[in-house]
Amino acid sequence: MLDANFWQNKSNSKTIIKEKKFFEELIESYNDSVKGLTDLNDLYKLAKEEGNFNVSDEVFKNIKELRLSVKKNEIRCFLSNEADSFDCYIEIHAGAGGTESQDWADMLRKMYIRWSDRKNFKFDLISEHKGEEAGIKSSTIKIQGDFAFGWLKKESGIHRLVRISPFDSGARRHTSFASVWVYPVVDENISIEILDKDLRIDTYRSSGAGGQHVNTTDSAVRITHLPSKIVVQCQNERSQHKNKETCMNMLKARLYDFEIKKKEELNQNFESQKSDIGWGHQIRSYVLQPYRLVKDNRTNHESSSPDKVLSGEIDDFLEKSLYQS
């Protein structure tokens, strides 16, 4: 930062300042925790000598609060991978099952949107394909906030719902599946080479809301990267040019994520997971009937309050998955 040319590259300087702030807050929080523990220890010794049980009880109460602060700091230490500080895209696709699975996909999207609201993160709808009766066939949202990708990166996989279907007149229990794929918004400093000859660009009319202009012009854009067979699409802007720009940014993010997973030698397993949105592939199950339970199959973490989970209270699941990173 002392370099005379540091501020000339705004994107690079912004990244470095963000990283500097992260480490400063981490160190400051650690020092505060050490000081707090020392002060509480001294206070406890004094209360014990004087037989002051009220002060002792207050010390134990403050220790619990201190433990929560230390845990929060510990979790932040797990968000230290190269892309963890980036914003992220979340793709959600309904599995087989028609309206029931499409409604489940929409429930998942709302869960992540509510989670981002709780974090005071910003979210944007990039694309959406609605179901014929209810829900969505697929959707892509962009979440912007501190360490958004780091928090959500382990959410990629198949999510399973068991409930009595509101769309079944016989009130029978149904099992539905939807896939969630999370990948980072690529930093401008990361160079991803994309050749024009490797792209197929299609335009089509938007199927979502947006007024007369969106519905009567081919403003929506779909880009297929032929070598990797990655497909991205955007329809949230009225301008075809802006939608194409968003698509290119998403494609860069997908290719970056693809290469990262390949380097980690996890890509083969990742692709096999994506091959089937159904039985045997789920990472988490949400059971609403005959009992109420949300269980993560990787960490075995459970919650008996699925309503709270679906309203965005998923931090416990995210934290447990980070410990397994």
Residues with Cβ within 8 Å of residue 129, at least 6 apart in sequence: 136, 137, 138, 139, 207
26 and 95: one domain? no
Answer with the one of 77, 93, 109 that is the final residue of a domain.
77
Residue 145 scores a pLDDT above 80: yes
45 and 179: one domain? no
Residue 217 scores a pLDDT above 90: no
Half-sphere exposure of 205 (CA within 13 A, CB side): 9
35 and 102: one domain? no
125 and 191: one domain? yes
Q: Can you give the pLDDT at residue 201? A: 92
Residue 310 scores a pLDDT above 80: yes
Residue 138 Cα distances to 73, 96, 178, 202, 236, angstroms: 36, 12, 9, 18, 14
Residue 291 scores a pLDDT above 50: yes
261 and 169: one domain? yes
Q: Can you give the pLDDT at residue 208? A: 54
Give the domain range for residue 198. 84-325
13 and 61: one domain? yes
Q: Can you give the pLDDT at residue 156? A: 93
Q: Bigger pLDDT: 294 or 27?
A: 294
92 and 227: one domain? yes
Return d(Cα 218, Cα 205) in angstroms, integer: 4
Whether the bond into 306 is cis, omega within 30 of 0 = no
97 and 238: one domain? yes
73 and 184: one domain? no
Q: Bigger pLDDT: 102 or 6?
A: 102
121 and 164: one domain? yes
Q: Can you give the pLDDT at residue 214? A: 42
Question: Which of 298, 302, 288 lies closest to 322, judged by CA?
Answer: 298
Average pLDDT, the chain: 85
23 and 96: one domain? no
Q: Can you give the pLDDT at residue 265? A: 55
DSSP 190: S
Residues 165, 168, 172: CA angle, nearest 5 degrees: 65
Q: Can you give the pLDDT at residue 295? A: 97
Residue 1 lies in a domain: no
Q: Can you give the pLDDT at residue 11? A: 64
Residue 178 lies in a domain: yes
pLDDT band at 3 (very low <50, low <70, confident <90, very high): low
Q: Can you give the pLDDT at residue 210? A: 44
